[in-house]
Amino acid sequence: MKEYEYVCQECGQQIEVNGPMREAILENGCPVCSASAQSAHFSGQ
């Protein structure tokens, strides 16, 4: 189920994520290019 959408500011990748995946990206960075992620890079509820 889609909960959030992450859009990487470095590589432009758009990824639909759930809550735990959002936390993982915030902690570890973009899964594609490892750019640091911020909460502002996520949309959705």
Footprint of Zn ion (CB under 5 A):
8, 10-11, 13, 30, 32-33, 35
Minimal distance in Å, beta carbon 6 to Zn ion? Answer: 9
Judge whether 42 and 5 are in contact, CB under 8 Å: yes
Instruction: Using alpha carbons, select from 14, 20, 18 the residue that is nearest to residue 1.
Output: 18
Minimal distance in Å, beta carbon 9 to Zn ion? Answer: 8
Fill in the DSSP letter of residue 37: -
Closer Cβ to Zn ion, 17 or 30, answer by number? 30
Closer Cβ to Zn ion, 11 or 44, answer by number? 11
